Amino acid sequence: MGATSQFTPILIPRDADGFVKSFTFSIYNSPEGSEACAFFQEYGFVVISNVFTPEQCTDTISDIWNVIESLVTQSVRNDEQLWTQKLWSKTGILDEGIVGWESLWTRQILFNRQNPALHTAFASVLRTENLLVSHDRYGMFRPTKEHPERSTMTNLHLDMNPWLYIDRLF
């Protein structure tokens, strides 16, 4: 048997507050978009800080809770003691933090999906305005530090395989 090596995570650039470096831009093909694209190419992810306004974020968080509460049929957003495995299992795919079993079609999800700033962010990072979009569900991860039974699977979950879609086109 060969020697095993210890996994060493790469160092991700961070800002002065210790958060992962984020990018802000508002137009396609901006210099900031090019920087975000380079970051994405190197690290496999990128944070764009100005896609949604604070109000849109608040509305989305409220919508997530509305969906969860419709599934568990009671108010739980302000009482973490109610976030038990038994109750939470009614929300969707428990081990993956996915809310619901089918695509969600709330007003807020549709607003978010059609947001011009979201399109600009993806187009800038991917370097094309021609985007293929899928429609999905919300994700919700409960705190696990004091409740390890709440931890989620360490996998990548895709409801749509973009390569199969592309293969069917050509």
Q: Is residue 37 part of a domain?
A: no
For 25-29, 32-36, 44-48, which range has the lowest pLDDT when averaged over its residues?
A: 25-29
Q: Is residue 39 part of a domain?
A: no
Instruction: State the average pLDDT over residues 35-60.
Output: 94
Q: Is residue 133 part of a domain?
A: yes
Give the DSSP H or E segment for 40.
Answer: helix 31-43
Burial 38-61 (b: 16+ CB within 10 A, else e): ebbeeeeebbbeebbeeebeebbe
Sign of CA dihedral 60, 64, 67, 69: negative
Q: Is residue 154 part of a domain?
A: yes
d(CA 121, CA 87): 36
Give 12's pLDDT tier (boundaries 50, 70, 90).
very high
Range of 145's domain? 51-169
Q: How many domains does the chain have?
A: 1
Give 122's pLDDT tier (boundaries 50, 70, 90).
very high
Instruction: State the average pLDDT over residues 11-40.
Output: 92
Q: Is residue 67 part of a domain?
A: yes
Give the DSSP H or E segment for 9.
Answer: none
Q: How far is CA 34 from CA 39, 41, 46, 86, 115, in A?
A: 9, 10, 12, 46, 21
Instruction: State the average pLDDT over residues 42-56.
Output: 94
Beta bridge partners of 93: 98
pLDDT score at 94: 82
d(CA 56, CA 50): 11
pLDDT score at 104: 92
Q: Is residue 140 part of a domain?
A: yes
For 13-22, 54-63, 99-108, 146-155, which range has the lowest pLDDT when averaged over its residues?
A: 146-155
pLDDT tens column, 140-168 = 888 888 888 888 777 766 666 666 666 66
Torsion angles phi and psi, residue 20, rounded to 5: -60, 140
